[in-house]
A and B are shown apart, each in its own frame.
Chain A
Amino acid sequence: MSARSAAQRIRKAIAVVNAVVDGAGDEEITPTEIAEAIRDCLEMAELAAVPNVRKYLGEALDATSDGMPADFVAMTLYAALGALQEGLPS
């Protein structure tokens, strides 16, 4: 799996959280689904080589389990996405 698809997976998790925050009114998203999307990101082996990405993803997962506001989870996922982009070879 490439770094690009890793970013896509994190973006997917962010989109799920943002859907909760923005309340489109066309889907019911549970914390379990958010946690699942974050776990999907954590499973990506190539992220081990990029500093901080797994740390932020872990924090986002903890925040979801702790019932933290969706904005906080989203912010932490953005941090993971930023760390991934910073850590990629240019």
Chain B
Amino acid sequence: MRSAEGRGRTLDEAVDSALIELGETRRNVDVRVVRESSDETVVEVTVMEAPDAAGESPVNGKAETVRTLLEGLLKHMGVRASVQVRVGSDPITLDVTGRDLGALIGWRGETLRALQSVTNVMVGKHLNEGERVIVDVERYRQRREHTVREIALRAARQVKMTGDAITLDAMQAFERRAIHLALEGDPDVTSSSIGEDPDRRVVVGPRKPADA
């Protein structure tokens, strides 16, 4: 997998500099924040490789079974799309691509979430206990995770500057998870959630000495 390090004053600048070096767009990459301080952000940007042209990807038989089942489901739904297993993904992640798949994502990703639930029910007997499959359409889920991670880092910077806690917008569980993971290694801020689903919100606040 190709990757590059990017540096900049802000997260966006750092990501952009790495993207220019790689000659890629944000859509095809995974971003990891290496270091972040008030004057510089360093990120590692990795290009997500697509399966090779022959259609043979180094995925296991289980992933292939799951892929076939989802492809069949989409066909029954009358959706023309191709399904690929994301290489190196754990848990198994299925990428659905095609034209005009907005309806498959739905309002705030609701249809995509439903599709994932149905897929997991269908493929359950092929999986180990507790194992799950992630379904992504046009990398919506991945893009959303990147977006909320950027929101989290921005909120953390603000909390460090002002010392005041920030309450973010209501988010789904996988988005809140992305925020908690993005901030868990930060020694200066802490994240927690308040409220009840579907209005549960993440609060980013300064880490008290006792929390450290």
Give residues of chain B (112-166) contacting chain A, Cβ–Cβ below 8 Å.
113-114, 117-118, 120-121, 124, 132
Given known contacts A26-B193, A71-B120, A75-B117, is B177 in contact with A12 (CB within 8 Å)? Answer: no
User: A90 CB to closest chain B CB, in angstroms?
Assistant: 18
User: B142 CB to closest chain A CB, in angstroms?
Assistant: 15
User: B175 CB to closest chain A CB, in angstroms?
Assistant: 8
Q: Which residue in chain A gives the minimum CB-CB distance to B108?
A: A11
Is A53 an interface residue, CB under 8 A from the partner? no
Q: B196 to chain A: which residues have CB within 8 Å?
A: 12, 16
Q: Which residue in chain B gives the minimum CB-CB distance to A68?
A: B121
- CB pair B172 A18 closer than 8 Å: yes
Is B68 an interface residue, CB under 8 A from the partner? no
Given known contacts A15-B172, A24-B177, is B124 in contact with A71 (CB within 8 Å)? Answer: yes
Give residues of chain A (38-78) contacting chain B, Cβ–Cβ below 8 Å.
69, 71-72, 74-75, 78
Q: B121 to chain A: which residues have CB within 8 Å?
A: 69, 71-72, 75
- CB pair B180 A24 closer than 8 Å: yes
- CB pair A18 B124 closer than 8 Å: no
Chain B interface size, as a band, is 20 to 34
A-B pair number, CB within 8 angstroms: 68
Docked CA distance A12–B172 (Å): 11
User: A75 CB to closest chain B CB, in angstroms?
Assistant: 5
Is B65 an interface residue, CB under 8 A from the partner? no
Q: A11 to chain B: which residues have CB within 8 Å?
A: 110, 198
Q: Which residue in chain A gives the minimum CB-CB distance to B171?
A: A24
Given known contacts A11-B198, A12-B198, A18-B172, is B120 in contact with A25 (CB within 8 Å)? Answer: no
- CB pair A16 B197 closer than 8 Å: yes
- CB pair A23 B197 closer than 8 Å: no
User: B52 CB to closest chain A CB, in angstroms?
Assistant: 31
- CB pair A75 B172 closer than 8 Å: no
- CB pair B117 A22 closer than 8 Å: no
- CB pair A26 B132 closer than 8 Å: no
Contact with A along B162-186 (1 / 0, CB 8 A): 0000000000111011001000000
Q: A21 to chain B: which residues have CB within 8 Å?
A: 117, 132, 173
Q: A16 to chain B: which residues have CB within 8 Å?
A: 196-197
Is B200 an interface residue, CB under 8 A from the partner? yes
Q: Which residue in chain A gives the minimum CB-CB distance to B114?
A: A78
Give residues of chain B (182-212) contacting chain A, Cβ–Cβ below 8 Å.
191-193, 196-198, 200, 202
Given known contacts A16-B197, A72-B121, is B177 in contact with A25 (CB within 8 Å)? Answer: yes
B-to-A contact residues, CB < 8 Å: 110, 113-114, 117-118, 120-121, 124, 132, 172-174, 176-177, 180, 191-193, 196-198, 200, 202
10 intermolecular pairs with C-beta atoms under 8 Å apart:
A11-B110, A14-B198, A16-B197, A18-B197, A19-B197, A25-B177, A26-B177, A26-B180, A71-B117, A74-B114
